[in-house]
Structure 1
Amino acid sequence: MSKPLCVMLVAAEASGDDRGAGLARALRARLGDDVRFVGVGGARMAAEGVQSPFDIAELSILGLLEGLLAYRKVVVRVRATVALAQREKPDVVVLIDSWGFTLRVAQQLRKLDPKLPLIKYVAPQVWATRPGRARTLAASVDHLLSIHVFDAPYFEAEGLATTFVGNSALTLDFSRADGARLRKDLGITPEAPVLLVLPGSRPGEISRILPPFAEAVAILKAQRPDLEVVIPAAPTVAETVKAQASGWAHIVEGEAAKLDAMKAATLALACSGTVTTELALAGVPMVVGYRLGALTHAILKRLIRTPYITLFNIAAQAFVAPELVQDDCNGPNLAREVGRRLDDPALRAAQVEAQTAALSKMGRGGPDPSEVAADTVLKVLAERRA
């Protein structure tokens, strides 16, 4: 009797944990008991059988300076991940997002076993900044699973086989979400305007972005006493958010509550990231804010080649949702943009229409990315064995 296929999945952030869990489910649906999983991930991957040797929250690092300060910790965790691979001897390794961490793992695994198939899931955004990363990745892995339709040419030009699988955020299922349920649970009347505040899932994002978001909320609530504020707190930062925001917002936890909150929302004030795509899918107009460390921002400002940071804005090549970045991400500016939309239903409706059109350009309506990713992993493995 042949031994089960051993698949190693490595993710270091919440979005990667979600993609890793989806890929594990899809592979198990195809292989049943003939697959086992090892690797690094969070709670969602753990629920699919991936027992991580350490907490990935400590690898959720934002900014260049923070990356330098955390370098030793990252090196230690890279070693632990490589040691896990040496111990478990996987048949294939899938490295999910988290460029700096997963690249180091890939490079060490390649040195130890050049024949081990290495697959990167989610490409570095070379279309926005640092195009040299395409060549670096091509030298480090065997195949790329990309989530953006515009990724492939950059990597294929460097000889890296690339498969577009789609963005799992575009497949989010709102069929069971109920905004009325959330309003009832929180004691919010059906007619009250609800502002959803989403300050990020990394500790660094909370420390930089929650304060100006809180200032904006204070301004807005002073002008609109009936405004209700809801924060769906990411599990990685829930305790910090509760400590800082419980006095001025309803705080909810868990995926179901987050989706209910999105369906209940009149408008959102959101940190740039995957959540902006999720909000667009829910039909929620939004204002996007973001802040980096001063040093990181100064360096990236010279490197970034796109004026947009929100994916559907990039797809539309327009500021469908306003983006207030760095010094512009302050309480008065945010309150002004949010207030305009709270007061103008027609503006909100027009923005939702434009967001929906941009989602189509991003590949909404395509196959489930986890299914395509699973098929590609098995195809790469079969080709390597042949």
Structure 2
Amino acid sequence: MLVAAEASGDVLGAGLARALKSRLGDGVSFVGVGGPRMAEQGVASPFDIAELSIIGWLEGLRAYGLVKRRVADTVALAVAERPDAVVLIDSWGFTIRVAQAIRAALPGVPLIKYVGPQVWASRPGRAKTLAASVDHLLALHSFDAPWFERAGLPTTVVGSHALHIDMGSADGDRFRKQRGIAPDAPLLLVLPGSRPSEISRLTPVFEGAVARLKAAHPDLQVAVALAGTVAEDVTARLAAWPFRIHTVAEADKYDAMKACDVALAASGTVSTELALAGAPMVIAYRFGPVSYAIMKPFFTGKFATLFNVAADRMVAPELIQNDATPEKLAAAIGRLLTDRAAAADQIAAQTAALDQMGRTDRDPSEVAADAVLKVLSNHRSDAAR
């Protein structure tokens, strides 16, 4: 059983399912919760996971009733299907509740968490909570493991898929030619996120930043990436922007990353992708004001961006909450547009930080599949004794 509640988890679940099928062939079947990628691999979800894409404490409270119902639906599926193992992917608030409920309903089933909570950034006590709820953790980064192993949770570092994206076929020149953008024209790529709440909070701020940059750099070209889950919403919002925008579908995203001179991105995995593409960037994020006020005391980490965490310094500028203003964003982006030496230095530092994050030669899905099968094998051996 594979359970994912967000688009990023859907990708991880699909990769894991594919790797398990390559090892077990017709010997494996799947049940669970996921999105379109997992559905392609045979995981038929009983509900649309888009309704569970929730960020922020206040938003979580508002959606509590829905989340509770979907946890019950997921556990009911587990009880009906009685899987040999359950892998719970990312989405802490949802999957920890599912883990605890399945543990109570099916105490003999091994539970594996794929992606742990970012305890290095906030609420380190979650490591103990997870250790008491599941049997094994598949962690993305080497700096994750010690936090959970100290809590007694066996952990396998599988690596991050974002570090294994093949940018070899990405072509920035092709992107520019297809859209009539001159080779020497400055190009800003805007990536406003993949959650409805991110789009509603960030696109007005990003529009203000772009307007200031266009005023200072009239020849600036602007491209906006459309994540599949929010493409219609973003497209509708862009229609009101008073300047020309090149929209970027998912299939062209990496070409756009290669083509741009600088990127403005919502905090998230996309920052790693941009670093792999060699794009200097400015990172921004905004929570709901009440949620932020509640959450802020719990943040103990220095940075939000993973390669900044790995480098233990502000490699790429992060402008969070009240600092994420059009004025500050435009100033940070403008510096990278006009100071090419600063941009080059940031690109070099981003690349070095990717190595510190633990790039490996093996596909993380393959490592994760091996770890899942090992947990299942050990569980069966223990049960046979």
Q: How does 1:215-254 map to 2 (within 5 A)?
A: 215-246=208-239, 247=241, 248=243, 249-254=245-250
Instruction: Give 5+ residue unaligned stretches, structure 2.
Output: none
Deviation at 1:105, TM superposition (A): 0.6
For residues 187 and 84 of structure 1, what CA distance do their matches in structure 2 show?
51
Deviation at 1:367, TM superposition (A): 2.0
Deviation at 1:184, TM superposition (A): 2.1
The aligned residue for residue 123 of structure 2 is 130
Contact 2:192 2:225 in 1 (8 A): no
**Is 1:189 aligned with 2:182?**
yes
The aligned residue for residue 351 of structure 2 is 356
Deviation at 1:151, TM superposition (A): 1.5
For residues 29 and 263 of structure 1, what CA distance do their matches in structure 2 show?
32
The aligned residue for residue 329 of structure 1 is 324
The aligned residue for residue 58 of structure 1 is 51
For residues 297 and 117 of structure 1, what CA distance do their matches in structure 2 show?
35
Q: Secondary structure at the match of 1:341?
A: helix
Q: Which amino acid aligns with 1:265?
A: C
The aligned residue for residue 272 of structure 1 is 267
The aligned residue for residue 372 of structure 2 is 377
- Runs ≥4 in structure 1, deviation > 3 angstroms? none
Deviation at 1:299, TM superposition (A): 2.3
TM-score of the aligned structures, taking structure 2 as reference length: 0.96
Match of 1:200 among 169, 193, 199: 193
For residues 168 and 366 of structure 1, what CA distance do their matches in structure 2 show?
11
Q: How does 1:1-386 map to 2 (within 5 A)?
A: 8-246=1-239, 247=241, 248=243, 249-254=245-250, 256-386=251-381
Deviation at 1:304, TM superposition (A): 1.1
Cα displacement string for residues 305-364 of structure 1 (whole angstroms, at most 9, x for unaligned residues): 122110000111111001111111010110000001101111111000000000000012
Q: Which amino acid aligns with 2:77?
A: L
For residues 34 and 290 of structure 2, what CA distance do their matches in structure 1 show?
29
Q: Which amino acid aligns with 1:157?
A: R
For residues 11 and 43 of structure 1, what CA distance do their matches in structure 2 show?
11
Q: Secondary structure at the match of 1:226?
A: coil
For residues 42 and 187 of structure 1, what CA distance do their matches in structure 2 show?
35
Contact 1:144 1:163 in 2 (8 A): yes
Aligned-pair Cα RMSD in Å: 1.1
Identity rate of aligned residues, in percent?
63
Contact 1:20 1:45 in 2 (8 A): yes
Q: Which amino acid aligns with 1:251?
A: T
Deviation at 1:43, TM superposition (A): 1.4
For residues 323 and 187 of structure 1, what CA distance do their matches in structure 2 show?
31
Instruction: Give 5+ residue unaligned stretches, structure 1.
Output: 1-7
For residues 148 and 132 of structure 2, what CA distance do their matches in structure 1 show?
11
Deviation at 1:54, TM superposition (A): 1.1
Cα displacement string for residues 221-269 of structure 1 (whole angstroms, at most 9, x for unaligned residues): 1121211111111111111100001444211222x31111111111100
For residues 200 and 171 of structure 2, what CA distance do their matches in structure 1 show?
31
Deviates more, 1:37-46 or 1:111-120: 37-46
Q: Which amino acid aligns with 2:134?
A: V
Deviates more, 1:154-163 or 1:320-329: 154-163
Q: Which amino acid aligns with 2:291?
A: T
Alignment size in residue pairs: 378
For residues 241 and 283 of structure 1, what CA distance do their matches in structure 2 show?
25
The aligned residue for residue 5 of structure 1 is none
Contact 1:216 1:335 in 2 (8 A): yes
The aligned residue for residue 4 of structure 1 is none
Q: Secondary structure at the match of 2:77?
A: helix
Contact 1:166 1:366 in 2 (8 A): no
